Structure 1
Amino acid sequence: MNYSSCEMKEHINSFITLLCVERNLSKRTLKAYHSDLNCMERWYFEYNVREVTQATLLKYFEYLQSVKCLNPRSIQRKYVALTQFFKFLNQEGISGERFFRFTSRKFQLPKSIPRTLSTVEVKTLITAVDAEYLHCEKDFHKNICIRDNAIIELLFCLGLRIGEISTLDLEHYDSLEHTLLIHGKGSKERLLYISAPEVQKKLDNWLLIRKYFQPSTAALFVNRFGGRLSIYGIENIFTKYRDKSQINPKSTPHYLRHSFATQLLNNGASIRDVQELLGHKSIVTTQIYTEVSITKKKQVLLQYNARNELFH
């Protein structure tokens, strides 16, 4: 396949449009695809490569490893993006060549254990938010604490991603059933039950005082100006109370998600149930995520969720 910078850019844009329309990928994922493909396109231009072949692609990945010194995770992400792109070129009849005869086995990711917080650390973190509330003198700061408390609790009680909390709207919470409709990665929805009565109460308390922030949005959690609370705002909330509680200084909000999953498994929940609750696709199989009934989720969370008994 002959290389032309203008044509390559046009093909890349067409591919990104297809991903957006057919796969309904998030803006962040589309941006990652675009970045990876543009990186390849720049390399072809800078090294004056005139033809796109299996051999030149192999040289490109050697460049990523030896010159750019990218880690295996970054290289594998680019491998996935490029294989999808060149598959698109084949399907559209733009090229009939087979570009990837080499596999990604040399880019395999090192296995790492998910970083978690201990039960004591989680309890200390939540207690720090409670203590902050008791020491607040102004009503505004008390209301901020009520909001922050509900957010920290949901991060652990349901193992939510910060992006999932940020995108929650009022209509996604059923206060009678104590369920939240979560919009996860890939626009997948899952319904989760808040099994801990303490967490139910804290979320309901937040909704009672949310109006004092004069919300300009339907977001469940708003910032001090009434706008939707961003993922960076949620990260800052976690960091604030992480430092106040003096737990693992390297921990992030995602540690609570890992802790949620780990403790479910430790308490006897099945891997299948945990995958469903987290909204994950199976890594082992290619089976698309299938929603299980809320009744089953209630049973799993009522029986296994460590938050239910955290202060008992």
Structure 2
Amino acid sequence: MKKSALQYKKTFLIYLEKVRGYSDLTLKTYDEAITEALDSIEIEEKPTTTLFNLMPYRIKIASLKQKTIAKKLSAIRSFTEYLNTQGEHITLKADDSIKVAKTLPKPIPHEHIMEALEKADKEERLAVTMLYTLGLRISELAGLKVADIDTDWIRVVGKGNKQRDIPLLGTTGKLLREYLDEMRPKKYLFEKNSRKLSENSLRYIITKVFKRVALKVTPHQLRHSYATVLLNNNARIADVSELLGHSSMATTQIYTKLGSALKMQNYNKAHPLCKEIDDTF
């Protein structure tokens, strides 16, 4: 099994690069984590599954920082999920999560998004705009049905099949109407050969659009950008939480921390006394 897992690793890394749009640095991290894990883990063949015991590997990397350990384990989990999609039956043992402090989301500046949109075709422009002006998850965008689009609102089915209504900006509505008139999708907004476009296909579209302007951008970063723009322009946190489909406002509050961090950064750049202090050191 270890030999076949190493062979699968090559196709897995290609998938991460071509479909998921992962950066070279992330690919290197995944490659190293999987290789060193396969050298350390105990593999036990059972009648219905192959057991990957991660304990020897966890002991090996125990001295590393928690965030580094969490990233390595995340890479192993993703690889295991991939193996299962390829027809292997893998079960992980000693797979307890590592708790790490939450980092602030990384929104994309508005000007960079507009620059990318200028180089996008009609389908690409609509996908990026929907994520940026509606704050959708990629799964929600993939599952968006034509029947759920109204003149001024769209109905979105989010996590746990919870529905929420999100207002359409005039510019987004115009793009939508033009796209619908030209493409005539039957059931889902984004289709190929009358079938729903997959989440991975939509991720690839977003990756491709921003790659043209030399940026690595994920669909979720556009959702972060949507939330950050609203809160930085004094939208109520309760409203933003509802628009994002968060089950708790505590999840939305991370964006208020981001806004505070940006305000402090801008203050330090703008205040003359801060500049004088910087010049003295």
Q: Which residue number corresponds to residue 117 of structure 2?
A: 126
Distance in 1 separating the partners of 2:72 and 2:164: 28
Deviation sequence 1:119-139 (CA, Å, 0-9, x none): 11111122222xxxxxxxxxx
Q: Please show how residues 127-206 of structure 1 align to structure 2 within 5 Å.
A: 127-129=118-120, 145-175=121-151, 178-194=152-168, 196-206=169-179
Q: Please show how residues 33-48 of structure 1 align to structure 2 within 5 Å.
A: none
Is the contact made by 2:142 and 2:197 (CA closer than 8 Å) also made in structure 1? yes
Q: Which residue number corresponds to residue 200 of structure 2?
A: 232
* TM superposition score normalised by structure 2: 0.55
Give the number of equivalent residue pairs.
Answer: 179
Q: Offset of 1:64 from its aligned partner?
A: 7.6
Is the contact made by 1:164 and 1:184 (CA closer than 8 Å) also made in structure 2? yes
Instruction: Verify: 1:266 aligned to 2:236, yes or no.
Output: no
Distance in 2 separating the partners of 1:270 and 1:62: 46
Unaligned runs of 5+ in 1: 1-42, 47-59, 79-103, 130-144, 286-312
Distance in 2 separating the partners of 1:226 and 1:182: 21
Is the contact made by 1:158 and 1:260 (CA closer than 8 Å) also made in structure 2? yes
Q: Offset of 1:66 from its aligned partner?
A: 2.8
User: Segments of 4+ in structure 1 off by > 4 A?
Assistant: 60-65, 67-70, 72-75
Distance in 2 separating the partners of 1:170 and 1:179: 12
Is the contact made by 1:72 and 1:107 (CA closer than 8 Å) also made in structure 2? no
Deviation sequence 1:78-125 (CA, Å, 0-9, x none): 9xxxxxxxxxxxxxxxxxxxxxxxxx9x94322211011111111112
* TM superposition score normalised by structure 1: 0.50
Instruction: Verify: 1:71 aligned to 2:70, yes or no.
Output: yes
Question: SS at 1:207's partner residue?
Answer: helix
Q: Which residue number corresponds to residue 277 of structure 1?
A: 243
Whose radius of gyration is greater, 1 or 2? 1
Is the contact made by 1:239 and 1:252 (CA closer than 8 Å) also made in structure 2? yes
- One-letter amino acid of the structure 2 residue matched with residue 227 of structure 1: R
Q: Which has the higher strand share?
A: 2
CA RMSD of aligned residues (A): 3.2
Q: Offset of 1:65 from its aligned partner?
A: 4.3
Aligned-pair identity in percent equals 30
- One-letter amino acid of the structure 2 residue matched with residue 191 of structure 1: D
Q: Which residue number corresponds to residue 264 of structure 2?
A: none
Is the contact made by 1:72 and 1:109 (CA closer than 8 Å) also made in structure 2? no
Distance in 1 separating the partners of 2:156 and 2:132: 15
Q: Offset of 1:256 from its aligned partner?
A: 0.7
Match of 1:254 among 220, 230, 241: 220
Distance in 1 separating the partners of 2:166 and 2:57: 41
